[in-house]
Structure 1
Amino acid sequence: MYYAALNDNWQIRPLSEFSHGIYPRNDDGWLPAIVPAHWQQLPGLETHSGKVVYRCRFPYSKPADSIPDERYWLRINGVFYYRHTYFNGVDLGAHEGYFEPTEHDITALLRTHNTLIIEIDCPDEHNKVGKRMITGVFSHWDCFDPQANPGGIWLPVELHRSGPVRLHHARLRTEHCDAHLAQLRFALDLDATQATPIQIEISFAPLTFHGETQIFTLQRRLRSGTQTVAGLLKLREPRRWWTHDLGQPDLYQVTVRIWLNGILSDEQSFAYGVRTFELRDWIPHLNGERFLVKGNNYPPGDMRIATMNRERAERDLALARDCHMNMLRVHAHIDHPAFYDAADAAGILLWQDFPLQWLYRPEVLPAARHQARAMVRLLGNHPSIAIWCMHNEAIHLEDTADESLAARLRTYQSAFIFSWNRDVMDVQLKKIVEEEDPTRPVVRSSGEPDVPYVRTGTDAHAYFGWYRTYGTLADGEAVRARFPSNLRFVTEFGAQSFPNLESSLRFMPDPLDEAAIKRLVERHGLQADIMSAWYPWRQAKSLAEVIELSQNYQAELNRFYIDRLRYHKYRPTGGIIAFLFVDPYPAVLWSVIDYWRVPKRSYYALRDCFRPQYVFTLIEPRTFTIGEAIDLPIYAVNDAREPLVGARLTIRLCDPTDSELATVIRYLDLPADSLATEIDRLRLTPIRAGDYTIELRLSGAGPEFINRYRLTVVATGEMKTQ
């Protein structure tokens, strides 16, 4: 049971070496600290990395409502990264890991005046291909602030109290559910001072709907010490949790109470959604119902993750819902607890990555095994979490902007031959998580390509049209035709773009000069040379022109991928997850929303591409020649649970002078959750060079929607791929 948060009277002291919990009692050398926060948020520590010690002095007096044999617990919810805790001079032990809460029984140590000491070490990772901290994107990524160190106490430190039996954690998972009955398995992690009989009460109270509260009462006998009590419950006529596009994300308030001789010894309460999720050959099914995943990669809501809260998380999830997304991939990190609660309420599924990004030294394996299990136990009650993934791109990568031959060869070798991280560590982690949670799919590592007769891949990453290592969009089309299994579930694609003008001016000049570009490369993520390979942004005369070029290219590239993946819906595509949703700090990245949550043009373009009812064409990514016969197939798809009846599609084809060459009107009737269906097929034989336009206007299916495509015609001999 919660008692008090230790939010006040914190001090901090940067160190070169620890003193095993023994520090001067006076205030010399100590600075005022904020908890929770990152130490780089504090004056004088803006660039500090490595070692610090925190100190908190607080009073204690026995509360008036104390119960017999009361126990007190120090709960530390989250610290980057290594920590050692001392309470009133007593060593409480060391801990590694930034997201796993720990609890210490301090009943016998509490005094009228108390001193808590926490020694913390969060060094920078200098060996990027042999990292040693399981911090994922907080220590190494192409989208993180290179000057930021996450060190600090980033979640609250609390005092809890209980009776003789402490309920450390209550876990639930849905093994089966339909409209009539849900079978739930519970596991309660308990700590008892002595062998004793207890009564367990588990109640399910409707949180988002009206209905009866169902209460389950069980009798158990405990032995002394820590143990887990498990069993099965059958919930009658459950209200199931759905994504926002399939139904309502209905939740129960679950309360677990431990009674000892008629006295409440401890309790916990949390929101819970009853639902099942499966991947059947990478086609997702929620509560047995097939659907198409549409989403984006979610970085830390802020690289200063301690600053996130429920309100900020809800704003991000509202932007995702408005963009017709039903899944976010929590990219190579564990996010703030408020984010998971908000995702449950918003009806957004989460692909949850374990915090492994690129390569780690073998010595991390014991810590990784422990923390993988901790991740599942910490987050497993959230209905929003649908998929566990153990590693992002377990390949040799130091800097994605480095496209030298040597860098490519190292990457190819680790991707296709052998990677200890993927082939040893990730295999073990996958097995641990499957044992811990058999109700969710577990992916060994994200971004493993499927190569016939060599290996069965996982989800795919596709950066054709951005990284030259991948190649052009035409190269992507060749891969799509030859290796269709890589279309099953795509979890990364995209291009960088500048934020809108007002946001860009917060951290760059107008116009850009070479010094400013260099700073953007070094400090704000810009991959300038790669961007220059696709369009001449350096020749732009103003920052506004640079922004327009980059956002237009990003929007067109995202649509290129989504059109093809929606064409392959369920044949074999089950998921479309772009990269990236928001900027975690002021930067020039792959995001469609900037750090200040201002949507880019590419956000609105993505929203159009993810509409439930969508019309599109597939045009080869190249220029065409005069006199060439060009087929223009027109497709429509409906992802909604209801049929589409009587929608009007107007197809308009114009030449380079905007003169109308053809107008076709079709009325659409599509079944619920339809596959992509060819509605018409136009043929264009151009007689002049220039840009031709195909306009698709859909009305009668929500707000009117217009999709415009351009194809470029040149004289014979001038054709080129894109």
Structure 2
Amino acid sequence: MQRAVGVVMTVLLLLLQGCSVMPSVQPVAITPAGSLAGTWEFLPSGSAAMLAGNAQWQAINVPANWYTQGYDHHGVAWYRLKFSAQTSSETVSTLHFGGVDYFADVWLNGKQIGSHEGYFQQFSFDVSQNLKAGENTLLVRVNSPQEKAEDYSLHKRLIKGIFSHHDTRPGGAWSDRGQERNTGGIWGEVNLRQTQQVQISPRQIRVQPTKGLEQWLVSVDLDVLGKVPQGTEWQWSVEPVGFAEEGVCNTPLQCPRRGVLHTPSLSIPITNPKRWHPHGYGDPNLYKLTVSAVQNGKVLDSFERTIGFRKVRQSPQEIWTINDQRIQLKGTNYIANQWLAEMKTEDFRRDIQLMLDAHINTVRVHAHVTAPEFYRLCDEMGLMVWQDFPLQWGYQDTPEFQQQAVLQVGDMIRQFGQYTSIIQWTLHNEPPWDADWMKWKYKDYDPQQNKVLDNQLYRAAVALEKTRPISMISSTKEHPWLGWYSGSWLDYAKPTKHATIAEFGAQALPDKATLSKILGHEAELPTTDAQWQEWAFHNFQRKETLEIAKVPQGKTLDEFITNTQQYQARLNQLAAESYRRQAYRPVGALFQFMLVEDWPSMNWGMVDFWRKPKPGYYALQRAYQPILPSLAWNKVDYKTGESVSVGLWALNDSTASYPQAQYQVKLLCGKQTLDTQTWAFELSADMHQHLHDYRVPATEAGEYRLEASILDAKGALLSTNEYRFTLQSQQ
């Protein structure tokens, strides 16, 4: 993307001009943490107004996405801040940005100090020679453009994934309005970091097993700024966070947790650490890694990072083991918010708890990289992460784009690879060369488009990553979408040939009050094209709902809401149970689509934007229970006289065993119990077994419910499930 003409001249004018609709921002006194967060000056325009001498600076919070600050804007915007600092000849000063969407050009005191491309990466500049003692002026030119009309949507230029082109964007994926409500801005923290003589930071941290689960190697590649004084030592320590290590080692000498090295490339052997386990399989034990540059007992600089010890493997059959324990990944897809700065620690923690409460053990961060705080909390709370690179559908096949993508995939792996919870990298979601449905969508569709790009990305990723599986793509074949884009929801009862199911689901409307909040007026059942278009802007898919899923519209909005929610719930539960019954034969991972709605919309979220669960959430919660009496069926409507047979399965994803367990089924019609049967069996760990077939004795027309329970040897209830079906009279 070309920079604006005359940027340097514009910058000089900006620095000299005092014209503003608000008082000039007062200098910020640097806190010990060096935060430059707060109120900045903002100019959401190009250079014409500034060159004309009538620029009108406005106020904006940093960090924030500019849309959430009231600026519905795309393209170039300027940020300015005056702040105070102290410096000396031995001070090493770096300016850190936690995230800028998308292009950034940065000036300090009239001199350009650097540029950056990409929305998710952290980046920094050495400003030791530019920073002044006293008042300083920081100027940032941010450009978050729309894709060009001729490139959108098959030949995109921006590596933003779902933030520029996706079904859940404002306007959706395929309308002319799909790029509205831009995500641009300085959305991450901005900090000034100052040290004396030398400054160190980790370029990449890797934790990998070297012998079984006992011997490990922590590798740290350091970036070093400043002049390293003679005799400097690199001291390190690895200390447990929130737990004790008694009994791990007979003596500290057998497995030291601290040491001294004389090179800034650290290879630290660790013996018998307590391992990090996913939620439900043990404790998510973490350690604090501290690295310091020390001269004559004086700490010149240091940093801390949280690390964990866990071994992850994926077999050629795509079956997963964590710490040598076989595990089926039960997941969901996740986009937290269209505007990342809106997500605070408590928001991410709430979402992760929603996942854990639904027995989700893995989350797919869908076609984007989210804020670092999310991954920190996943480490802490034991939620595994399947991490996508932000490529969604089609992109430019040019050397320039390929080079930029390779740079950014390296940034992702280096910057986020320290998070123990991340167990997988996926580099491109449904690329054109794997999505032959695009031939019906685009006249210029090339079945080889982006193949060279994806091969280059894969080679670059493999060169950096030694501890996790890497998938080049999330393939269209792994996204069945039965009962939504094709087929029937009952098709989920059929066997699959695929080990990884990366997307399945259906839309459901939120409740009426939430729907009115989304639309900004009292919600009504649409009766005109304009009303349906308003719903479509908020992601509702009318054709798929009414014509493919065949959800009854009903006579009222309340009926329609109920019908869509029941459809989503039934589909989610049927698909999840079916794939769980096929655990390791062949299914190694399954991911519902999606957990939450990422803006005020009406799409695939089981939980609405304000985090109120729909019935689909509770259906998936039931289907994902670690211990589950799963019921295998393939229809819900029968004729009287037709045989009704239900497969009774015992599923146990936990590490616990239950000798002399009981499997009980009850057949009910209304409040009347028609039949009860009980079997004794051994419920072992990691069990996925068909026990019996239950033939329903009912012969009369009516609505029936089959309840299933698993109890332990003492009769204590471990888990319940149910199947509802109807017998209709023969006509």
Written as runs of structure 1 = structure 2, the 5 A alignment for 1:498-517 is: 498-508=509-519, 509-514=522-527, 517=531
Instruction: Write the distance in 2 (CA, Å) between the matches of 1:194 and 1:569.
Output: 55
Please say if 1:463 is aligned against 2:477. no
Tell me which residue corresponds to 1:98: 119
The answer (yes or no) to whether the contact 1:634–1:679 under 8 Å persists in 2 is yes
Letter in 1 for 2:379: D
Question: What are the Cα deviations for residues 89-126 of structure 1, in whole angstroms up to 9, with x where unaligned?
Answer: 11112211112222211112112221111111101224
Q: How far is 1:234 from its partner?
A: 1.6
Out of 417, 420, 425, the residue aligned to residue 449 of structure 2 is 420
Deviation string 1:105-149 (CA, Å, 9 cap, x unpaired) is 111211222111111110122411111111111111101223320
Contact persistence 1:78–1:156 (CA under 8 A): yes
Taking the aligned partners of 1:709 and 1:242, their CA distance within structure 2 comes to 34
For the pair 1:148 / 2:181, whether they are aligned, the reply is yes
Residues 358-367 or 500-509, more deviating = 500-509
Once the two structures are TM-superposed, the CA of residue 623 in structure 1 deviates from its matched residue by: 4.6
SS of residue paired to 1:428? helix
**8 Å CA contact 1:520, 1:588 repeated in 2:** no
Partner in structure 1 of residue 96 of structure 2: 75
Cα distance in 2 for partners of 1:315, 1:476 equals 30
Change beyond 3 A, Cα 1:272–1:586? same
Contact 1:389 1:442 in 2 (8 A): yes
The 2-side partners of 1:81 and 1:369 are apart by 17
Change (3 A) 1:648 1:412: farther
* 1:542–1:359 CA distance, 2 compared to 1 (3 A): same
Query: Do the aligned residues in 1 keep the contact of 2:433 with 2:449 (CA within 8 Å)?
Result: no
Match of 2:475 among 424, 447, 456: 447
In the other structure, the counterpart of 1:31 is: 58
Task: Report how many residues are paired.
Answer: 672
Note the C-alpha offset of 1:185.
2.4
Question: Partners of 1:473 and 1:537 in 2: how far apart?
Answer: 11
Out of 678, 688, 707, the residue aligned to residue 665 of structure 1 is 678
Task: Report if aligned partners of 1:491, 1:577 keep a CA contact under 8 Å in 2.
Answer: yes
**Counterpart of 1:454?**
none
Residue in 1 aligned with 2:355? 320
Residue of structure 2 equivalent to 1:124: 146
2:22 — aligned with what? none
Question: CA separation in 2, counterparts of 1:218 and 1:558?
Answer: 54
Q: Do the aligned partners of 1:201 and 1:216 also contact (CA within 8 Å) in 2? A: yes
What's the CA shift for 1:547?
Answer: 2.1
Following the alignment from structure 2 to structure 1, what is the Cα–Cα distance between the partners of residues 582 and 531? 39
Cα distance in 1 between the residues matched to 2:141 and 2:415: 24
1:366 is aligned to: 403
* 1:409 and 2:440 correspond: yes
For residues 308-364 of structure 1, the C-alpha deviation after alignment (integer angstroms, 9 at most, x for no partner) is 121111111111111111110011111111111111101000000001111111232
Residue ranges of structure 2 left out of the alignment (5+ in a row): 1-30, 172-179, 247-251
The match for 1:198 is 232
For 1:49, the equivalent position in structure 2 comes to 74
Equivalent residues in 2 for 1:310-709 (5 A)?
310-363=345-398, 364-395=401-432, 409-410=440-441, 418-421=447-450, 423-449=451-477, 460-467=478-485, 470-473=486-489, 475=491, 480=495, 484-486=496-498, 488-508=499-519, 509-514=522-527, 517-533=531-547, 539-621=553-635, 623-654=637-668, 661-674=674-687, 676-684=688-696, 687-688=699-700, 691-700=703-712, 705-709=719-723
- Give the TM-score normalised by structure 2: 0.86
Pairing partner for 1:296 from 332, 338, 341: 332
How many angstroms apart in 1 are the aligned matches of 2:340 and 2:717? Answer: 37
Unaligned runs of 5+ in 1: 222-228, 399-404, 450-459
Q: 1:9: Cα distance to partner?
A: 4.8
2:163 is matched with 138
Alpha-carbon distance in structure 2 between the residues aligned to 1:475 and 1:673: 26
Moved more, 240-249 or 514-523: 514-523
Query: Contact 2:492 / 2:574 at 8 angstroms: preserved in 1?
Result: no
Show structure 1 runs of 4+ deviating over 6 A: 411-414
Secondary structure class of the residue paired with 2:633: coil
Cα distance in structure 2, aligned partners of 1:132 and 1:535: 35
- CA drift of 1:518 comes to 1.9
Q: Tell me which of 190, 195, 201 is aligned to 1:168.
A: 201
Contact 2:434 2:475 in 1 (8 A): no
Residues 554 and 103 (structure 1), Cα distance of their counterparts in 2 relative to 1, 3 Å cut: same
- What is residue 258 of structure 2 aligned with on the other side? 216
What secondary structure sits across from 2:136 in the alignment?
Answer: strand
CA displacement 1:193-246 (0-9 Å, x = unmatched): 36855311111111121238954334435xxxxxxx434222132011001110
1:485–1:572 CA contact under 8 A, matched in 2: yes
Shift of 1:702: 7.3
The 1:510–1:339 alpha-carbon spacing in structure 2 relative to 1, beyond 3 Å, is same
Matched residues in 2 for 1:411 and 1:443: separation? Answer: 26
Secondary structure of 1:533's aligned partner: helix
Partner of 1:226: none
C-alpha separation in 2, matches of 1:711 and 1:408: 40
Cα distance change on mapping 1:130 and 1:170 into 2, 3 Å = closer
Query: Does the residue aligned with 2:543 lie in a helix, a strand or coil?
Result: helix
C-alpha contact 1:331 1:353 (8 A) present in aligned 2: yes
SS at match of 1:16: coil
User: Alignment partner of 1:6: what SS?
Assistant: coil
1:104 match: secondary structure: strand
Q: 1:8 to 1:691 in 2, by over 3 A?
A: closer
- The code of the aligned residue for 1:384 comes to S
- 2:220 maps to which of 186, 190, 207: 186
| 2:482 counterpart SS class | coil
Q: TM-score, normalised by structure 1?
A: 0.87
The one-letter code sitting in structure 2 at the alignment partner of 1:103 is S
**2:620 and 2:482 mapped to 1: Cα distance?**
18
- SS in structure 2 at match of 1:424: helix
Q: Quick check: 1:13 aligned with 2:43?
A: yes
Contact 1:201 1:217 in 2 (8 A): yes
The aligned residue for residue 453 of structure 1 is none
Give 1:616 deviation, angstroms: 1.8
Residues 512 and 575 from structure 1, CA distance in 2 versus in 1: closer, same or farther, beyond 3 angstroms?
A: same
Instruction: For 1:174, give the aligned amino acid.
Output: V
583-592 or 625-634, larger mean C-alpha shift: 625-634
Match of 2:67 among 22, 26, 40: 40
Give 1:477 deviation, angstroms: 5.4
Say which is worse superposed, 249-258 or 346-355, in terms of deviation.
249-258
Distance in 2 between residues matched to 1:529 and 1:618, nearest whole Å? 30
Query: Structure 1 residue 181: deviation in Å?
Result: 3.3
Of 623-632 and 198-207, more deviation after overlay is shown by 623-632
Whether contact under 8 Å (2:307, 2:419) holds in the other structure is yes
2:83 is equivalent to residue 58 of structure 1: yes
Cα distance in 1 for residues equivalent to 2:653 and 2:585 = 14
Corresponding residue of 1:457:
none
The alpha carbon displacement at 1:17 in A equals 4.1
Query: Which secondary structure does the structure 2 equivalent of 1:335 belong to?
Result: coil
Q: Is the 8 A contact 1:12 1:53 kept in 2?
A: yes
Q: 1:342 to 1:23 in 2, by over 3 A?
A: farther
Structure 1's 362 and 283: CA in aligned 2 closer, same or farther, altered over 3 A? same
2:321 aligns to what? 285
Please tell me whether the aligned partners of residues 607 and 613 of structure 2 are also in contact (alpha carbons under 8 angstroms): yes
